[in-house]
Amino acid sequence: MNARSFCLRYLSTLGCFGLVFGAIASPAWSLPGQRTETVAAWIAGNPTLQPSDSGDGLTVRRTDTAAQRFEFRASVLPPGRISFLGNPGIIRSENFSLYDLINGVSLPRLEEALRVIYGLDIYTDYQNAQIVRIYPSADTLEMSRRLNLPGLGGREGELRLGIRFAYWIELTKNEDSSSHSGQMTVFLKEDLPKMLRELGQ
């Protein structure tokens, strides 16, 4: 499958031309741990994200149709529940989410979006990262099978720890195990214990 057909089939929410050229033209220098103005400048110049003129410069929202949405947000807060304000000048996490009632959202689609937005270095760090938490647990899935439940629904995801960053991937599952929405977060490794505590509850 060539880049154009892949784009049309899987990544239409983000816009094909931005995605095809974004993998080449977008250096992955806007990452958690950098100053807000650096991240805002990277977002403004990233052909994949192409923010609107309004807003804080750290958030991008795009709606192709009512059934397809994309959002990218850089934050001074760690992912998960709000626990402290952090340093207002330093980005701690960057998150993108997809909502697509037409084509659905899958893990490979989120992974491809990560590659296109951030480039090969971060994509490789993610691919080589250690999986440290998967939810729901295998015990929960086994109980569902034993009780002959039609489908779990709810959220399914994982935490990964790479050399450079930690990653949080989550899909919202329907009762038939399909998914129309998902998100991925790139965040500082020092915030991984917080996420492990929250997802373990």
More confident residue, 29 or 64: 64
Output the pLDDT for position 17.
33
pLDDT bracket for residue 140 (50, 70, 90): low
Tens-digit pLDDT profile for residues 35-80? 999 999 899 888 888 766 556 789 998 887 889 999 999 999 999 9
Tens-digit pLDDT profile for residues 123-135? 999 999 999 999 9
Residues 97-114 as b/e (b if ≥16 CB within 10 A, e otherwise) read bbbbeebbbbeebbbbbb
pLDDT over threshold 80, residue 104: yes
pLDDT over threshold 50, residue 2: no
pLDDT over threshold 50, residue 136: yes
Output the pLDDT for position 30.
67
Q: Read off the pLDDT of each residue in 86-114 and give the average, rounded to a whole number.
A: 93
Output the pLDDT for position 85.
64
Tens-digit pLDDT profile for residues 150-193? 445 588 999 999 999 999 999 999 888 899 999 999 999 999 99
Output the pLDDT for position 19.
40
pLDDT bracket for residue 142 (50, 70, 90): low
For residue 102, the one-letter residue type is I
More confident residue, 26 or 193: 193
Three-class HEC string of the chain: CCHHHHHHHHCCCCCHHHHHHHHHHCCCCCCCCCEHHHHHHHHHHCCCCCCCCCCCCCEEEEEEECCEEEEEEEECCCCCCCCCCCCCCECCEEEEEEEECCCCCCHHHHHHHHHHHHCHHHHHHHHCCEEEEEECCHHHHHHHHHCCCCCCCEEEEEEEECCCCEEEEEEEECCCCCEEEEEEEEECHHHHHHHHHHHCC
Q: Read off the pLDDT of each residue in 111-138 and give the average, rounded to a whole number.
A: 93
